Amino acid sequence: MAVYTDVAADELAEFLGQYDLGELLSYKGIAEGVENSNFLLHTSKGSFILTLYEKRVARNDLPFFLALMTHLAENGISCPQPVKGRDGEALRELAGRPAAIITFLEGIWPRKPNAVHCAGVGQALAKMHLAGRNFAMSRPNALSVSGWRPLFDQAASRADTVQPGLRVFLETELDYLESGVWPKNLPEGVIHADLFNDNVFFLGDRLSGLIDFTFACNDILAYDVAICLNAWCFEPDHSFNVTKARAFLNAYGRERKLSEAEEAALPLLARGSALRFLLTRLVDWLNVPPGALVRPKDPLEYFRKLRFHQSVASVRDYGLTPSGLVA
């Protein structure tokens, strides 16, 4: 979450007049994240989140995101719900941007995730994958393999200003992943695609819900698992924590067992996930809008993670015994 577009108090009060949410008491921008403008609203009827969808998010995709949150909640997944106005619509416009209000989810995201947190995320991710099986809408993943070359092209000319040799490193990895090695014929469905620790809330050690579905799409389910390995199972010094990975993967597997093919593909999927976030972070790092209330995330964190996955031989290196070898 972040703030790129400011909203005046009188403008917001007029906007809220389209809802039955009571009187606006206060509001403030939320600085975390990189994608949309978000505000915490306090009204006489409670707390809510207002999101203004910025230019990277296509307006035509918004009904998918909003309907998905409703569907997941109806199928037992704790996540925010879109708030409909008096006209029955959840999506409208504010400050020249598409906008929606969603319910407030209690909890805090873990700054220093431990193995218990990782197990909770593994269980919740698997349950989300299962809950999404009968979701009627679909959305392709614009940030899968075919979307990585355009990102590289945006950043290539200045990549070496972030780290010498980064341009060649990225191009070499991209050439490899585009060469036909990307996994095919693995189970697909609705994935979150951005389940970082700031998108998962806990009350103590109990997971209280998942937020921010603006990257959700249809793709390989195990790719979502790989994204979480990158997001949850590395330490601040970028070393891989196999204890966290084992907790995450075992908890996922108790809800939805990975096939042998999914396990075999996991190192490659993790490489692709690391490259995807390295590229998007690099583009954001090089293109922060002037005056934006946003803290761009370090792209080199994912350079180091990608180098680790390049050395992985099998799912054993993630702390998981391959299914075919289990007695």
If you write DSSP's letter for every residue of 139-199 in order, what string do you get? -B-TTSHHHHHHHHHHHGGGHHHHSTTHHHHHHHHHHHIIIIIS--S--EEEE-S---GGG
What's the pLDDT score for residue 58? Answer: 84
Percent of the chain whose pLDDT exceeds 70: 94
What's the pLDDT score for residue 5? Answer: 78
- Taken in order 152, 155, 161, 163, the sign of the CA dihedral is negative
Over residues 203-214, mean pLDDT? 95
Parallel, antiparallel or unpaired: strands 217-220 and 188-191: antiparallel
User: How far apart are alpha carbons 166 and 285 in whole angstroms?
Assistant: 14
Tell me if 235 sits within 8 A of 241, measured CB to CB: yes
Which runs of E-coded beta strand occur in the chain? 24-29, 37-43, 46-52, 92-94, 97-103, 188-191, 200-203, 206-210, 217-220
Query: Residue 217: which pLDDT band, with cuts at 50, 70 and 90?
Result: very high
What's the pLDDT score for residue 33? Answer: 52
Tell me if 207 sits within 8 A of 232, measured CB to CB: no
* pLDDT at 148 exceeding the cut of 80: yes
Query: Residue 2: which pLDDT band, with cuts at 50, 70 and 90?
Result: low
Residue owning tokens 């949850």: 232
Over residues 2-9, mean pLDDT? 78
Listed residue (170, 125, 191, 139) closest to 281, CA to CA: 170
Residue 224, token pair as written in the block? 């979502």
User: How far apart are alpha carbons 316 and 322 in whole angstroms?
Assistant: 7
* pLDDT at 55 exceeding the cut of 90: no
Ranges 97-106, 209-218, 294-303: which has the least confidence? 294-303
Residue 196, C-beta contacts closer than 8 angstroms, at least 6 positions apart: 231, 232
Residue 203, token pair as written in the block? 């009350």
What's the pLDDT score for residue 186? Answer: 98
User: How far apart are alpha carbons 228 and 118 in whole angstroms?
Assistant: 9
* pLDDT at 6 exceeding the cut of 90: no
What's the pLDDT score for residue 156? Answer: 97
User: How far apart are alpha carbons 30 and 209 in whole angstroms?
Assistant: 18
What's the pLDDT score for residue 322? Answer: 87
Helix (H) or strand (E) holding 118: helix 115-131
Ranges 1-5, 79-83, 100-104, 232-236: which has the least confidence? 1-5
Task: Specify the 3-state DSSP secondary structure of 203.
Answer: strand
Over residues 62-83, mean pLDDT? 96
Residue 271, token pair as written in the block? 């490489």
pLDDT, tens digit (0-9, with 9 covering 90-100), for 42-52 = 999 999 999 99
User: How far apart are alpha carbons 269 and 262 in whole angstroms?
Assistant: 9
What's the pLDDT score for residue 222? Answer: 98
User: How far apart are alpha carbons 236 and 292 in whole angstroms?
Assistant: 26
Percent of the chain whose pLDDT exceeds 90: 86
pLDDT, tens digit (0-9, with 9 covering 90-100), for 225-257 = 999 999 999 999 999 999 999 999 999 999 999
Tell me if 32 sits within 8 A of 198, measured CB to CB: yes
Tell me if 99 sits within 8 A of 14, measured CB to CB: no
Over residues 186-190, mean pLDDT? 98
What's the pLDDT score for residue 294? Answer: 62
User: How far apart are alpha carbons 243 and 151 in whole angstroms?
Assistant: 33
